Amino acid sequence: MTHSTEPMEGAPLIAPSSVSHPLYDAVVDACRSVYDPEIPVNIYELGLIYTIDINAENEVRVIMTLTAPGCPVAGEMPGWVADAVDPLPGVKQVDVELTWEPPWGMEMMSDEARLELGFM
């Protein structure tokens, strides 16, 4: 039996978030409080937050990316996200994972981010 790290055909590239969890909106708001220092838009609207997974024990797992692998704050931004989410009432633990798959693209930005950056 072989173990493949490749996603199964038809599997989404970005795992779904726990949108029905009672803490989800608060975690999203916390992510919106984090800004890329080079871009005047929060990282949630930039599309850098791929997945917010919250389990029954209120342990939060955030999967995120950066605009580019060479981003000067690559080593710091996941910590900023953890620091924003960790103090939320009810959150037991926060784990922030950085991924490069799929690569970030401008199409991942929200309409609000596009408007703020003058792309609309």
**10 belongs to a structural domain:** no
Segments forming the whole domain that contains residue 103? 28-108
**Predicted structure pTM score:** 0.86
User: Average pLDDT, stretch 3-15?
Assistant: 62
For residues 23 and 88, the answer to whether their CB atoms sit within 8 Å is: yes
> Could you tell me which residues are beta bridge partners of residue 60?
54, 94
> Could you tell me which residues are beta bridge partners of residue 64?
49, 98
Q: How many CB atoms lie within 10 A of CB 78?
A: 19
Of 73 and 104, the one with more pLDDT:
104
Residue 4 pLDDT > 50:
no
Long-range contacts of 32-35 (CB under 8 A, 24+ apart): 33/84, 34/77, 34/80, 34/81, 34/84
Measured CA to CA, the distance from residue 105 to residue 61 in angstroms comes to 22
Condensed to tens digits (0 to 9), the pLDDT of residues 42-101 reads 999 999 999 999 999 999 999 999 988 888 888 899 999 999 999 999 999 999 999 999
Question: Mean pLDDT score of the chain, rounded to an integer?
Answer: 89
Read off the CATH number of the domain in which 63 is found. 3.30.300.130
Split at pLDDT 50, 70, 90, the class of 116 is: confident
When divided into structural domains, the chain yields a total of 1
